[in-house]
Structure 1
Amino acid sequence: IKSSSENKPSGEFICPSTGKPCSCGESKFHNCESSSGAVFGECWPVSYSEIDGSFYNEKELIFPPELLLRNNLPLKLHGFGGINWFRPLKLKYLLDLKSNYPEAKLIVGNTEVGIEINFKNARYPILISVTHVPELNVLSIKENGLEIGSSVRLSKLQEFLKKVIAERDKSETSSCRAISDQLKWFAGKQVKNAASVGGNICTASPISDLNPLWMAARAVFQIIDSKGKIRTVLAKDFFLGYRKVDISQGEILLSIFLPWNKHCEFVKEFKQSHRREDDIALVNAGMRVHL
């Protein structure tokens, strides 16, 4: 914020108190009143032209470059009640932790475990954050389909699928379109920014929006144990019952392989809920037809 003794800037103006565009620039001085009723003295408003926001939507302030350059470090934290929280940076270290603590809960967005702890009085003494393991954040296009890391955020998956749909032949991407369309109605944007693909799968909720589609699309889950041995399971065989999956305590879900569709093969999503947006499903379905 510039004082009245400085030169008046040009361009579109922001109210010094609210940070939103206003008519401050119409007069030489302006007393700005905030939503709380506080009045700010005579001042010049800040111009958007003083901020390099050319790469950002709605001229938001840029993310501090120093934080982007900061090196990630493995973490071990001790919490209240004897809780230990780990953040490994390599798959090997994650597997070692899982071997030492087979009952540990893996965390990405904490959208499910957080609810269990805060509202269901669940207690998990060992929590492992898998957000920074590169092998679990893979998004790659293979010859026969897509490889999706289990820690990939749902919003990032949605963006990736839109790109794939635009670039690939329409006959190959029916499953991609179905999953992308279902993600439109999957919770809110904040949840999709935090929640992961693997977390949603392994929770095995009966009202999951995506699990019926993984099964219909003939997806294959890659599971790795603490010794690094990988096995594959078809999505249709992975879910054993109510919140039960084919994965042992010493294993983790590594990635999901989504195959391309064949010619004249169509996959379609369905969701019925009380509200169209940001609501849990009454009925979910994933369908595949091969003509």
Structure 2
Amino acid sequence: DNSVYTKSCPSNGEFICPSSGKPCSCGESNALNCEKSVGGATCIEHKPVSYNEIDGSLYKEKELIFPPELVLRNNLPLKLHGFGGIRWYRPLILKQVLDLKSLYPAAKLVVGNTEVGIEINFKNAQYPILISVTHVRELNVLSIKEDGLEIGSSVRLSRLQDVLKEMIADREVHEASSCRAINDQLKWFAGKQVKNVASVGGNICTASPIS
């Protein structure tokens, strides 16, 4: 809604900030920046600049968008070093995961870190090698097929829940009975924030009693 970002003035003439909803001066079309010089003060006029499209087209009355460079960036394999010699890897394809597990058989695979993080912080578990499989495309497959549903082990629970609801709405009752049972269970499983990062495979592998 463009009205959220346009200038709003009540009867008394005060500008109402679209961010805070309170009177402020951020709606002034021009801002003066005065710099002192030998001959006195020099005022430079600055106009607010904002963009509404990824291509950067000028649109003066809107707020700045999320940086398009971050939206369009390509994912890269990562290798990070932490305190105490901890190493953290983020492969992008299944072969890279298998190669890392071949080099480090004891490495721990993580997605949302909802279980491993608890073990490290509260149970003093030591995992010097961590492999994040969040971006492995083969493990993020989630597709509806004629004979069922293919679910990758790195698929987040919130994403799975959305697809289950779609299956329940589109399929006959007897065809979607398993989907309905899983969806009913997910309603009681943690909060939205946890389901946004927790994975299907992670909860099956850890077999946590709280899951």
Q: Same fold (TM over 0.5)?
A: yes
| Counterpart selection for 1:11 from 3, 8, 14 | 3
Identity over aligned pairs, percent: 72
Q: Quote the residue 1:25 is aligned against.
A: 9
Superposition pairs of residues 232-251 of structure 1, within 5 angstroms: none
Question: Could you tell me how far apart the structure 2 residues matched to 1:64 and 1:170 are?
Answer: 44
Superposition pairs of residues 112-151 of structure 1, within 5 angstroms: 112-151=115-154
C-alpha displacement at 1:98, in angstroms?
Answer: 0.8
Report the RMSD for the aligned CA atoms in angstroms. 3.0
Distance 1:173 1:52, change over 3 A: farther
Question: Could you tell me how far apart the structure 2 residues matched to 1:108 and 1:205 are?
Answer: 15
C-alpha displacement at 1:206, in angstroms?
Answer: 2.6
Aligned with 1:172: secondary structure? coil
Q: Quote the residue 1:211 is aligned against.
A: none
Question: Could you tell me how far apart the structure 2 residues matched to 1:164 and 1:64 are?
Answer: 35
| Contact 1:141/1:147, CA 8 A, preserved across alignment | yes
Question: Could you tell me how far apart the structure 1 residues matched to 2:124 and 2:82 are?
Answer: 16
> 1:211-254: per-residue Cα shift (whole Å, max 9, x none)?
xxxxxxxxxxxxxxxxxxxxxxxxxxxxxxxxxxxxxxxxxxxx
> 1:177-217: per-residue Cα shift (whole Å, max 9, x none)?
11112111110100000100011111111342xxxxxxxxx
Q: Quote the residue 1:242 is aligned against.
A: none
Aligned with 2:162: secondary structure? helix
Question: Could you tell me how far apart the structure 1 residues matched to 2:6 and 2:126 are?
Answer: 47
| Counterpart selection for 2:69 from 66, 83, 94 | 66
Distance 1:31 1:139, change over 3 A: closer
Question: Could you tell me how far apart the structure 1 residues matched to 2:146 and 2:112 are?
Answer: 30
Figure out how many residues of one structure are paired with residues of the other and give that number: 178
| Contact 1:14/1:45, CA 8 A, preserved across alignment | no
Q: Quote the residue 1:255 is aligned against.
A: none
Higher strand share: 1
> 1:66-125: per-residue Cα shift (whole Å, max 9, x none)?
222211111111111000101111101100111111111111111111111111111100
Aligned with 1:77: secondary structure? strand
> 1:244-286: per-residue Cα shift (whole Å, max 9, x none)?
xxxxxxxxxxxxxxxxxxxxxxxxxxxxxxxxxxxxxxxxxxx
| Contact 2:14/2:23, CA 8 A, preserved across alignment | no
Unmatched tracts of structure 1, length 5 or more: 1-9, 16-23, 54-59, 209-291
> 1:103-149: per-residue Cα shift (whole Å, max 9, x none)?
11111111111111111111100000001111100111233211100
Greater CA drift, 151-160 or 110-119: 110-119
C-alpha displacement at 1:165, in angstroms?
Answer: 1.3
| Contact 1:13/1:25, CA 8 A, preserved across alignment | no
| Contact 1:13/1:45, CA 8 A, preserved across alignment | no
TM-score by length of 2: 0.74
Structure with higher Rg: it is 2
TM-score by length of 1: 0.54
| Counterpart selection for 1:105 from 99, 104, 108 | 108
Question: Could you tell me how far apart the structure 2 residues matched to 1:45 and 1:160 are?
Answer: 47
| Contact 1:29/1:43, CA 8 A, preserved across alignment | no
Superposition pairs of residues 163-242 of structure 1, within 5 angstroms: 163-208=166-211
Unmatched tracts of structure 2, length 5 or more: 30-49, 54-62
Question: Could you tell me how far apart the structure 1 residues matched to 2:141 and 2:209 are?
Answer: 27
